[in-house]
Structure 1
Amino acid sequence: MLRRLLPLLLSGACSLSQAAPHITPDRLQILANEPFWLSLGHYERGTLGGWRSYVDDDEYFLAEHGEKDPLAELRATIPALYRDPALGDRHPQCLYPARTRWLRDQLSLNDLPKVNCAEFDTWYNDIAPHSTVLVFPAAYLNSPSSMFGHTLLRIDPVDIDREGSPLLSSAINFGAYIEGMDNSILYAWKGLMGGYPGLFSLMPYREKISEYSRLENRDLWEYRLSLTAEETGRMLEHVWELRQIQFDYFFFDENCSYRLLELLEIARPGLELTDQFPLTAIPADTVRAVKDAGLIERIDYRPSREHELLARVAPLDSHEQGWVQRLAEDDTVLQDGEYLALPAERRALIQDGAYRLLRYQKSGAERDAATADRSYRLLQAINRNPPPRLDVQRPLLPEDGHRSRALLLGVGNRGDRAFAEYGLRMAYHDLLDNLDGFPLGAQIELGELRVRQYEGNHWQVQQFDLISIRSLTPRTRLLKPWSWQVATGAERVLGIDGKERLAGYFNGGGGFSWSLGEGLLGFAMGTVRLEHNRDFAAALSPAAGFDAGLLWRNAAGNLLLEAQGDYFHNGEVRRRLSLSQQLELSENLGIRMSAQREFSQWSSPETEVQLQLRWYFY
């Protein structure tokens, strides 16, 4: 707090300071309860009453307990604005331009001292804010921090569409600040538990374009907002106030998307966007909230480098894609007689595909002379024989997919026992859910609880999954990604005495997926499992196994045929064969039919069938 208090202490000793006007307590209380003042302090109602600020940094507040007392912070701010102008860039008017502007308007503070805020003025004028674009980099499963997507804001100067390039604009980003090199598992855990501070940053938009669409191969969606130049400027003033100010950061609620919604509430008071996300703030849901508020004027799509490559080579047959691969590895193929015998229009596609493949393979790698020379010679060939304009088909808007939370209601039979099943999934999407707005073969589920009621009013927890992620990305002639999965939680398994046991588990695996036709994926993975089961002598029992199957996108919905097996070190062997089909009744309503047969070394086989209604909401 010393940095913020120092100007006040210095100016308090100066004879040139002006006296702040007297404002009645009633007027101060009214202002302290104004939504805009509460937004400037990032206040929310505490669980037990009172206020607390999302800001986790004493440097931000002028009052001793300003983080939990909006009135005290207001009382400290008003006289601070009258401190000695000689403080310059350290003056509270310079540190808090958004507060200053609002209080001057609300209280008609026409006698405020004139302060030269050279640092702020230079920063603000360099950005030249005029309009705002909400940017949504789509989900990227291979990065734990990006598996739900991300949002940021782009600040454009005037006439950006006619006289400039968005690459010259600035980007406002909120993210976890990470020191050191935490591995992916530790990163995910600390992100869940709030183990990282969150910070706002402002950087050139071209850097974010490079990071997301090039290095991480993520599509970018750009939503131009209807904010006026004044509203955009007001928001940017508040961003200045938040420089190097720390917030708590949580993946699922106090994250990038939630913080940016708060900025939009600063830009246009009265939006009340954050009220819609009391528990989780999934980026696609926050984009939908912005659209529902009527803020979006235009949507632009920037495909990732991977999608551009796939679109370019899509017209080529397997033999021609082989030329793409060879040419990317060795540009002397350009002089090969067999290659030159190909029609010029096919060579144009092959050369452009080879160049894009080479750039894709080198994404994120250090520049080397050999690659640069090979790229240059490919570009020369492309210029001599240019391909047709690349047209990447725009996919369905991500915010137009199903809602993130789901209620589950099922009925079925297990053996000779009937049951009803009730469930809730906090987020987000599994392999069988409505595919609109999602890639085939992607699954991210969090916090799924299923409870069963058997005949005789016998209730039991059937399953509780903390997290379940599956990435089934098909291999092609040119791209050869891994498929993988990871899940942890508790589930019912067959026990020694024929009864089901609730066992804690961690399961992971890796392998490959293949496209077997339009909308048809085949996959095969080796798996490992750690299980805590009271039937086992060890506290944690390991198993090796397999997971293979077919995923088919058909006219009715999605179908999954899957075979799984686990071979434990203690001799227990489990296998399961399952078949599930989801029927899509509407965007947010589906019926899922499933049947499975389970086998265990220690108990008799069990057959289960179920019909489940799934309602997607929130």
Structure 2
Amino acid sequence: MLKRLAYLALCACAPLHAAPTFDDARLKQLAAERYWIALGHYETAKLGGWRSYVDDQRFFLAADGAHHPDQELRATVQALYAPASLGNKHAQCVFPARTRWLREQLQLSDLPTPDCQEYTQWFKDVSPHSAVMIFPAAYLNSPSSMFGHTLLRIDQADVQSNATALLSYAINFGAYIEGSDNSILYAWKGLMGGYPGLFALVPYQEKLSEYRSLENRDLWEYRLNLTPEETGRMVEHVWELKQIQFDYFFFDENCSYRLLELLQVARPSLDLTSQFPLTAIPTDTVKAVKQSGLVERIDYRPSRERELLERAKPLDAGEQQQVLAVSADTAQLQSPEFTALPRERQALVQDAAYRLERYRANGQERDPARSKRSFELLRAINRNPPPELEIERPGLPEDGHQSRTWQLGLGSRDDRAYAEYGLRMAYHDLNDNAYGFPLGAQIEILQLKLRQYEGNDWQVQRLDLATIRSLTPRNALLQPWSWQVAGGLERVLGKHGDEVLVSHVNGGAGGTWQLADDLLGFALGTVRVEHNNDFSGFIAPAAGFNTGLLWRNPLGNLSVEAKADYFTNGEVRRSLSLNQQWELFRDLGLRLSASRDFSKLASAQNEVMLELKWYQY
């Protein structure tokens, strides 16, 4: 509002160009065009009419432009004829994409010519020619990165021939956070729309360093076949969105959804956003972009963590200990233990030690002692260089299973037969098809399971709001923590031999170890807080453990787990479970589950279920 008042005041101080009169039907027709709708980020409102995703009145020139594309178009046409003396504040300078399109559609040959110095210099600096969609893979230890992320790199004309991608710019959309919210608060506010979302154009080198180094995430680069003209249209619109706020939600109005809107501005014939009415998981949006025919080439950049682990992979236990010794003290390069190694093994140890030092330095203030060690290791590497590091490209993330899952199971619990019906909104658990996903990663959001027992006895079996598990293996060089957190409703054994629906929040931390190829073992200490009508207190805390094995086998994924909760009120609850999934197709799996539950409140119960899982967006 203040922006519009200031703009009108400036206009009043100088004579206006006379705006021509346009046919009202023609203006309404233009306001309904797909390109104008894309420029205003409009969607059909639930009760009819329009609403814009933009949550910032500075973006609109009409009083109710957020809900009336036709009024915003008329206000824009009038503003284009404001006096040229407004300079950088002129509508033509603030809204170059709108200006270009309206000039073409209405043949506006008599517009004033303000000096848009700021925009002209900015566009010249960016010099857009082509675009690359960047997908930093999922990273469970960062709440903002659990589902992956997408951004756009804008390349100049000579980037490919000169290999100067690091000098390009990146278009990024993300939550704007003031202060230092902790991970739990960040996740909650991101789910509930507690942060505004902003577009930013930043040097690509900064984003590359952030994702590959600081967050240890692999990067996938999808070169798009946008023409220079289409890329320029998209960058024009990014200028219009400078410091303009949107609502931001993790699951739908997020980085990926906003970038799909930009691609529709670049090429108006695309229809990408309509495919995501409920959620916009980054991998799903990458699939949509690929299926639209926009992708012409895919490149892979491994993270520093992956490079370190691949370099250390051929080293035996003794050589890995040498890596730790040499990285801590470069004088160990002259030790008898190191010099006794064959020259080619020394080269591998030196290189792994240098990579370990650089990995540890990520996000840390400069340490002169560490810098000196790194320099000495580089000198040693130059004297005895290792073979080039070759990293096998993992499966494409967009080729993994779809994110939403429908479930149909038939089973028996203590001789009572049942059918179970389930829906999970997103998007992967430990036993799902692991292609394109890291082994030991689980993110489940909004999962509902209903059971129908014999006699048409229906009950809610569980409602998971969120279940997140990160089982990252530890090794001699890296010692990451494994952790899990979950919350929702679930059935547990009750006093009268039946199952009681309880609400709970639980979490845990511990370690995971690589026992063999594709075999992980894990052990976590856990805590749980539960509201149970069978308990005298309103809530009951418990401590316990969760341990098990996860095996990636020729049929699919097998997990074996043992869990226990020891409540402060004396209740002890334990369980053993086994799950094996057969991967029939990428988006179809068959899972066998067996479990035995123990409780001090009731006798032990056994359960077996065969479940069909259909992955679909």
TM-score (norm 2): 0.99
Paired with 2:389 and 2:604, the residues of 1 have a C-alpha distance of 55
Amino acid at match of 2:396: L
Amino acid at match of 2:210: E
What is the aligned partner in structure 2 of residue 471 from structure 1? 470
The alpha carbon displacement at 1:444 in A equals 0.3
Paired with 2:23 and 2:538, the residues of 1 have a C-alpha distance of 67
What is the aligned partner in structure 1 of residue 488 from structure 2? 489
What is the aligned partner in structure 1 of residue 389 from structure 2? 390
**Residue 199 of structure 1 contacts residue 245 of structure 1 at CA under 8 Å; is this kept in 2?**
yes
Write out per-residue CA displacement over residues 78-101 of structure 1, whole angstroms, 9 at most, x where no aligned residue.
Answer: 010011001110000000000000
Paired with 2:563 and 2:106, the residues of 1 have a C-alpha distance of 69
Write out per-residue CA displacement over residues 548-572 of structure 1, whole angstroms, 9 at most, x where no aligned residue.
Answer: 0010110000001100000111111
Amino acid at match of 1:347: Q
What is the aligned partner in structure 2 of residue 9 from structure 1? 9
The residue correspondences of 1:552-591 to structure 2 (distance < 5 A) are 552-591=551-590
Paired with 2:19 and 2:298, the residues of 1 have a C-alpha distance of 47
User: Are residues 499 and 202 of structure 1, via their aligned partners in 2, closer, same or farther at CA, if it must alter by over 3 Å?
Assistant: same
What is the aligned partner in structure 1 of residue 89 from structure 2? 90
SS in 2 for 1:356: helix
SS in 1 for 2:442: strand
What is the aligned partner in structure 1 of residue 503 from structure 2? 504
The residue correspondences of 1:79-228 to structure 2 (distance < 5 A) are 79-228=78-227
1:517 aligns with 2:516: yes
- Structure 2 stretches lacking a partner, 5+ long: none
The alpha carbon displacement at 1:538 in A equals 1.4
The alpha carbon displacement at 1:20 in A equals 1.2
Amino acid at match of 1:189: W
The alpha carbon displacement at 1:337 in A equals 2.7
1:365 aligns with 2:367: no
What is the aligned partner in structure 2 of residue 232 from structure 1? 231
The alpha carbon displacement at 1:501 in A equals 0.6
What is the aligned partner in structure 2 of residue 454 from structure 1? 453
The alpha carbon displacement at 1:368 in A equals 1.2
Paired with 2:194 and 2:363, the residues of 1 have a C-alpha distance of 27
Amino acid at match of 2:33: E
1:318 aligns with 2:289: no
Amino acid at match of 2:598: F
Paired with 2:281 and 2:7, the residues of 1 have a C-alpha distance of 40
The alpha carbon displacement at 1:468 in A equals 0.3
Paired with 1:498 and 1:585, the residues of 2 have a C-alpha distance of 37
Paired with 1:90 and 1:13, the residues of 2 have a C-alpha distance of 14
**Residue 507 of structure 1 contacts residue 530 of structure 1 at CA under 8 Å; is this kept in 2?**
yes
**Residue 7 of structure 1 contacts residue 92 of structure 1 at CA under 8 Å; is this kept in 2?**
no
SS in 2 for 1:522: strand
Paired with 1:82 and 1:420, the residues of 2 have a C-alpha distance of 68
Amino acid at match of 1:507: N
What is the aligned partner in structure 1 of residue 70 from structure 2? 71
Paired with 1:355 and 1:534, the residues of 2 have a C-alpha distance of 57
The alpha carbon displacement at 1:110 in A equals 1.0
What is the aligned partner in structure 2 of residue 422 from structure 1? 421
Amino acid at match of 1:8: L
Amino acid at match of 1:9: A
What is the aligned partner in structure 2 of residue 39 from structure 1? 38
Paired with 1:480 and 1:261, the residues of 2 have a C-alpha distance of 38
Amino acid at match of 2:445: L
What is the aligned partner in structure 2 of residue 53 from structure 1? 52
Paired with 2:5 and 2:165, the residues of 1 have a C-alpha distance of 39
Write out per-residue CA displacement over residues 25-54 of structure 1, whole angstroms, 9 at most, x where no aligned residue.
Answer: 111110111111011111111111111110
**Residue 8 of structure 1 contacts residue 83 of structure 1 at CA under 8 Å; is this kept in 2?**
no
The alpha carbon displacement at 1:115 in A equals 1.6
The alpha carbon displacement at 1:164 in A equals 4.1
The Cα RMSD (Å) is 0.8
1:603 aligns with 2:602: yes
The alpha carbon displacement at 1:342 in A equals 1.4
What is the total number of aligned residue pairs between the two structures?
617
The alpha carbon displacement at 1:529 in A equals 0.3
Amino acid at match of 2:9: L
Q: Which moved more, 1:245-254 or 1:310-319?
A: 310-319
Paired with 2:155 and 2:538, the residues of 1 have a C-alpha distance of 58
Write out per-residue CA displacement over residues 283-305 of structure 1, whole angstroms, 9 at most, x where no aligned residue.
Answer: 00000000000000111111000
**Residue 136 of structure 1 contacts residue 221 of structure 1 at CA under 8 Å; is this kept in 2?**
yes
The alpha carbon displacement at 1:339 in A equals 1.1
In the TM superposition, structure 1's runs of 4+ consecutive aligned residues that sit over 3 Å from their partners are none
The alpha carbon displacement at 1:129 in A equals 0.3
The residue correspondences of 1:526-537 to structure 2 (distance < 5 A) are 526-537=525-536
Write out per-residue CA displacement over residues 254-284 of structure 1, whole angstroms, 9 at most, x where no aligned residue.
Answer: 0000000000000000211000000000000
Paired with 2:271 and 2:405, the residues of 1 have a C-alpha distance of 24
What is the aligned partner in structure 1 of residue 549 from structure 2? 550
Amino acid at match of 1:101: R
The alpha carbon displacement at 1:373 in A equals 0.6
The alpha carbon displacement at 1:540 in A equals 1.2
The alpha carbon displacement at 1:12 in A equals 3.3
Paired with 1:163 and 1:187, the residues of 2 have a C-alpha distance of 40
Paired with 1:537 and 1:52, the residues of 2 have a C-alpha distance of 50
Amino acid at match of 2:486: A
**Residue 219 of structure 1 contacts residue 301 of structure 1 at CA under 8 Å; is this kept in 2?**
yes
The alpha carbon displacement at 1:330 in A equals 0.7
What is the aligned partner in structure 2 of residue 271 from structure 1? 270
Paired with 1:577 and 1:163, the residues of 2 have a C-alpha distance of 59
**Residue 444 of structure 1 contacts residue 469 of structure 1 at CA under 8 Å; is this kept in 2?**
yes
The alpha carbon displacement at 1:2 in A equals 2.0
Amino acid at match of 1:106: Q
Amino acid at match of 1:14: A
Paired with 1:542 and 1:409, the residues of 2 have a C-alpha distance of 33
Q: Which moved more, 1:169-178 or 1:105-114?
A: 105-114
The alpha carbon displacement at 1:8 in A equals 3.4
The alpha carbon displacement at 1:3 in A equals 2.5
The alpha carbon displacement at 1:344 in A equals 1.1
Write out per-residue CA displacement over residues 444-489 of structure 1, whole angstroms, 9 at most, x where no aligned residue.
Answer: 0000000000000010000000000011111111111111100000
**Residue 485 of structure 1 contacts residue 509 of structure 1 at CA under 8 Å; is this kept in 2?**
yes
Write out per-residue CA displacement over residues 164-193 of structure 1, whole angstroms, 9 at most, x where no aligned residue.
Answer: 411100000000000011111110000000
The alpha carbon displacement at 1:341 in A equals 2.2
What is the aligned partner in structure 2 of residue 538 from structure 1? 537
Paired with 1:89 and 1:219, the residues of 2 have a C-alpha distance of 41
Paired with 2:129 and 2:327, the residues of 1 have a C-alpha distance of 43
SS in 1 for 2:503: strand
User: Are residues 562 and 206 of structure 1, via their aligned partners in 2, closer, same or farther at CA, if it must alter by over 3 Å?
Assistant: same
Paired with 2:217 and 2:4, the residues of 1 have a C-alpha distance of 40
Write out per-residue CA displacement over residues 186-240 of structure 1, whole angstroms, 9 at most, x where no aligned residue.
Answer: 1000000000000000100000011000000000000000000000000000000
Amino acid at match of 2:426: A
**Residue 12 of structure 1 contacts residue 83 of structure 1 at CA under 8 Å; is this kept in 2?**
no
Amino acid at match of 1:566: D
SS in 1 for 2:277: coil
Paired with 2:4 and 2:94, the residues of 1 have a C-alpha distance of 8
SS in 1 for 2:563: strand
**Residue 487 of structure 1 contacts residue 508 of structure 1 at CA under 8 Å; is this kept in 2?**
yes
Paired with 2:255 and 2:336, the residues of 1 have a C-alpha distance of 54
Paired with 2:583 and 2:251, the residues of 1 have a C-alpha distance of 27
SS in 1 for 2:455: coil
TM-score (norm 1): 0.99
1:379 aligns with 2:373: no
SS in 2 for 1:559: strand
Amino acid at match of 2:592: M
Paired with 1:270 and 1:537, the residues of 2 have a C-alpha distance of 62
The alpha carbon displacement at 1:4 in A equals 4.3
Amino acid at match of 2:400: G
Paired with 1:291 and 1:9, the residues of 2 have a C-alpha distance of 48
**Residue 8 of structure 1 contacts residue 80 of structure 1 at CA under 8 Å; is this kept in 2?**
no
The alpha carbon displacement at 1:5 in A equals 4.3
The alpha carbon displacement at 1:6 in A equals 2.2
Paired with 1:551 and 1:96, the residues of 2 have a C-alpha distance of 55
SS in 1 for 2:496: coil
| % same residue | 65
Write out per-residue CA displacement over residues 467-517 of structure 1, whole angstroms, 9 at most, x where no aligned residue.
Answer: 000111111111111111000000000111111111000010001111111
The alpha carbon displacement at 1:9 in A equals 2.8
The alpha carbon displacement at 1:7 in A equals 2.9
